[in-house]
């Protein structure tokens, strides 16, 4: 085979990337794919958003590499995962409005199905804390019908798969201390300040 | 340790869409490549959870692409029965236009063998499986196709 022929056959042909994007957007839009994801920039750094047929299923601070997070999702739920910014538009828009101060509640659908019942109860109670207000671990445990489960409530909040949107940053320790935050206390402080909530002082470094 | 599973489908799309695109362009031409590409990946996405994690996803995708390409050629041949080879569509001119035109003018099986071997880098065994012929026949198709291309270029 002549060099010219071989070179031509092996040379990349323009258009593949665009065709792949069109495919992914369409597969996400008609739910041929079980999950679509995208990453967006925010005042708190890169965020990963994942949605399925029933709504948003994950929203994480992207402090770790993306691939293991997606591989984990593939293993636990479905490997039919594609990247599509368009599919995540409703949540991206609401987040932008939230960060600009013009939105105080999230309305695009959320997928609660993958959560264990206890975590779901704790996170629903958390989702009911109004914008700009705070509660305590004891408070959400009580609201979830299990007042003694404060520590478990803390764990459930720490594993919140829908950061910011299910506002676990509004849950503080009794007595007004910060408690924990999976994304780091500075982010928790930022969000409470954004909402005009009475935020405890950040522990000094 | 968790058992090895299938990677997110997006990974296959990113790694292999270039090869699938080039192979389809060679087999069905630039104009039909888009439709065949979409059909290939939608079929692959549907069947993906049943793919064995240890199989070669590239060969799998190219096999599906080949099937979609052949379906397309049959459909368009039925539509234009007067045409000798409906797959030999006019490609937009480019630096390698002559080569692509020559590839497009090859008989169907030779064209597929050339595309799968030199674009898809499939082995003779994988090509035979994709085309649905013996390894010997796939070798012969490849050989004949290359001989024609060499003569013309």
Tally of domains in chain A? 2
Please give the Cα distance from B32 to B69 (Å, whole number): 9
Catalytic annotation present for A168: yes
Percent of chain A with pLDDT over 90: 83
Do A72 and A138 fall within a single domain?
A: no
Whether the Cβ atoms of residue A145 and residue A182 lie closer than 8 Å to each other: no
CATH number for position A189: 1.10.10.10
ipTM entry: 0.90
Do A85 and A26 fall within a single domain?
A: yes
Residue B1's pLDDT is: 41
Residue B95's pLDDT is: 60
Instruction: Choose the final residue of a domain: A99, A125, A159.
Output: A99
pLDDT in tens, A42-60: 999 999 999 999 999 999 9
Minimal Cα distance from B146: which residue of A? A1
Query: For chain A, first and last CA: distance in Å?
Result: 67
H helix intervals, B1-153: 9-28, 30-47, 57-79, 97-104, 108-114, 124-131, 135-152
Please give the Cα distance from B68 to B23 (Å, whole number): 11
Residue A93's pLDDT is: 98
Q: Where are the domains of chain B?
A: 9-152
Contact call for B149 and A5, based on CB within 8 A: yes
Exactly one of A28, A36, A168, A197 is catalytic; which is it? A168
Nearest CB to B13: which of A13, A24, A70? A24
Q: Domain range spanning residue A125?
A: 117-194
Do A171 and A94 fall within a single domain?
A: no
Do A152 and A95 fall within a single domain?
A: no
Q: How far is CA B8 from the centre of its chain?
A: 23
Whether the Cβ atoms of residue A167 and residue A135 lie closer than 8 Å to each other: no
Please give the Cα distance from A195 to A30 (Å, whole number): 36
Do A177 and A144 fall within a single domain?
A: yes
Contact call for A1 and B42, based on CB within 8 A: no
**Which residues in chain A are contacts of B96 at CB distance < 8 A?**
8, 11
- Hey, is the C-beta of B92 within 8 angstroms of any chain A C-beta? no
Instruction: Choose the final residue of a domain: A39, A69, A99.
Output: A99
Q: Work out the widest C-alpha separation in chain B, in whole angstroms.
A: 61
Candidates B116, B119, B103; CA nearest to B153 is B103
Identify whether A203 is part of a domain: no
- Hey, is the C-beta of A29 within 8 angstroms of any chain B C-beta? no
Residue A105's pLDDT is: 95
Candidates A54, A53, A51; CA nearest to A84 is A51
SS3 (DSSP) at A123: helix
* Contact residues for B14 (Cβ-Cβ < 8 A; gap 6+): A20
Pairing of strands A81-83, A35-42: parallel
| Fold of the domain spanning B9-152 | Butyryl-CoA Dehydrogenase, subunit A; domain 3 (1.20.140)
Q: Is the pLDDT of residue A205 over 60?
A: no
Contact call for B118 and A10, based on CB within 8 A: yes
Do A128 and A93 fall within a single domain?
A: no
Identify whether A104 is part of a domain: no
Contact call for A9 and B49, based on CB within 8 A: no
Report residue A180's pLDDT band, with 50, 70 and 90 as the boundaries: confident
Identify whether A110 is part of a domain: no
Instruction: Choose the final residue of a domain: A66, A99, A132.
Output: A99
Angle of helix B9-28 versus helix A16-29 axis, rounded to 10: 120
Residue A175's pLDDT is: 81
The backbone torsions φ and ψ at residue A71, rounded to the nearest 5 degrees and listed phi first, read -65, -35
CATH number for position A90: 3.30.160.70
Whether the Cβ atoms of residue B97 and residue A11 lie closer than 8 Å to each other: no
The helix, strand and coil proportions of chain B, stated in percent and rounded to the nearest 5, come to: 70, 0, 30
pLDDT in tens, A121-156: 999 999 999 999 999 999 999 999 999 999 999 999
Residue B122's pLDDT is: 86
pTM for the structure as a whole: 0.87
Q: Residue with structure tokens 């599973």?
A: B5
Q: What is the pLDDT along chain B (153 residues), one digit of tens a residue?
A: 445 689 999 999 999 999 999 999 888 988 899 999 999 999 999 999 999 988 899 999 999 999 999 999 888 878 776 555 544 555 555 666 777 778 888 998 898 898 888 887 888 898 998 888 999 999 999 999 989 988 887
């Amino acid at each position: 085979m002549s060099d010219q022929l071989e070179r031509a056959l092996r040379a990349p042909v323009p258009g593949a990337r665009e065709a792949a994007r069109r495919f992914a957007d369409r597969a996400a839009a008609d739910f041929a794919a079980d999950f679509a994801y995208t990453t967006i920039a925010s005042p708190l750094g890169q965020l990963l958003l994942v949605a399925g047929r029933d709504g948003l299923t994950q929203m994480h601070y992207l402090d770790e590499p993306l691939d293991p997070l997606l591989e984990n999702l593939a293993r636990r739920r479905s490997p039919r995962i594609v990247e599509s910014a368009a599919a995540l538009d409703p949540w991206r828009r609401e987040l932008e409005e939230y960060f600009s101060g013009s939105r105080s509640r999230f309305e695009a659908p959320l997928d609660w199905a993958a959560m264990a019942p206890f975590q779901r109860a704790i996170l629903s109670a958390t989702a009911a804390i109004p914008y700009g207000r705070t509660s305590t671990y004891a408070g959400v445990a009580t609201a979830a019908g299990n007042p003694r489960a404060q520590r478990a409530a803390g764990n459930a909040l720490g594993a919140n798969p829908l950061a910011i949107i299910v506002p676990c940053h509004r849950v503080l320790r009794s007595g007004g201390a910060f408690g924990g935050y999976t994304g780091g206390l500075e982010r928790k402080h930022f969000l409470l300040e954004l909402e005009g909530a009475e935020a405890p002082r950040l522990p000094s470094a | 340790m968790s058992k090895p599973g299938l990677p997110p489908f997006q990974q296959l799309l990113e790694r292999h869409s270039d090869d699938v695109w080039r192979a389809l362009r060679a087999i069905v031409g630039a104009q039909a490549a888009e439709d065949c590409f979409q059909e290939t990946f939608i079929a692959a996405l549907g069947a993906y959870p049943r793919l064995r994690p240890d199989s070669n996803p590239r060969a799998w995708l190219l096999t599906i692409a080949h099937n979609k390409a052949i379906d397309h050629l049959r459909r368009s041949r039925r539509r234009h029965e007067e045409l000798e080879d409906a797959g030999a569509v006019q490609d937009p001119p480019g630096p390698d236009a002559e080569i692509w035109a020559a590839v497009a003018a090859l008989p169907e099986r030779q064209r597929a063998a050339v595309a799968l071997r030199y674009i898809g880098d499939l082995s003779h065994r994988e090509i035979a499986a994709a085309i649905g012929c013996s390894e010997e026949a796939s070798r012969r198709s490849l050989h004949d196709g290359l001989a024609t291309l060499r003569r013309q270029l």
